[in-house]
Chain A
């Protein structure tokens, strides 16, 4: 059972470089999310996708773009990386038919921007 798969696990970028974080889930979930986790803070929502074909901004969307490629895949793109984007990024999915349904998380991507 793969669940939610994120790639890469680690990445180092220089300021101004671009990259795409990939996420795929095999649980047939409609909703997918991208979070960032910084020391001393809870997870903060960057973008989410309620269903295939839709995306919406979360709490901290600036500097990021997303693509919901199909029901399985939801990618996060940094067009011009900045040191402030150094963080651990998590992709998650859920089946929102039950409002208490939990989020299922990937293992995270540790991104360092120098």
Chain B
């Protein structure tokens, strides 16, 4: 069975600086999807970025980018020019190609932005 591990329960960064959140996963599959979701204090879960495993190019969305290392089974999220509004819980999730329905979630990383 697949597992997702976020080894950093909490991270902090100075406003305007760059921070990287780590995510590793365990799978025997070769094709799958990976996601990062953000959960601010409002509780709303918001998609930040997604990556298809068959794509070698790392996904980017404005200030958010990923470092996808397929062989190492690593999927880290880099946030550049951190803003106060980035403060939230960040969750990494894995979806098998065989399943439209089951997302495997990490435990989350709490990101604190220092003004």
Contact = CB atoms under 8 A, between A and B. Distances in A.
Contact of B102 (A41, A45, A108): A45
A72 B9 CA distance: 36
A113 interface: no
Contacts of B64: none
Interface string A65-106: 000000000000000000000001010101010011011010
Nearest to A100: B33
Contacts of B101: 31, 33, 45, 48, 50, 56, 96
Contacts of A40: 9, 107
A94 B50 CA distance: 15
How big is chain A's contact interface, by range?
20 to 34
A107 interface: yes
Interface in B21-70: 33, 35, 42-47, 50, 52
B112 to A, nearest CB: 17
B4 to A, nearest CB: 7
B97 interface: yes
Given A56-B101, A105-B45, 18 more contacts: A42-B91, A42-B105, A42-B106, A42-B107, A42-B108, A43-B105, A45-B101, A48-B102, A58-B102, A90-B45, A100-B33, A102-B35, A102-B47, A103-B103, A105-B44, A107-B43, A107-B44, A108-B44
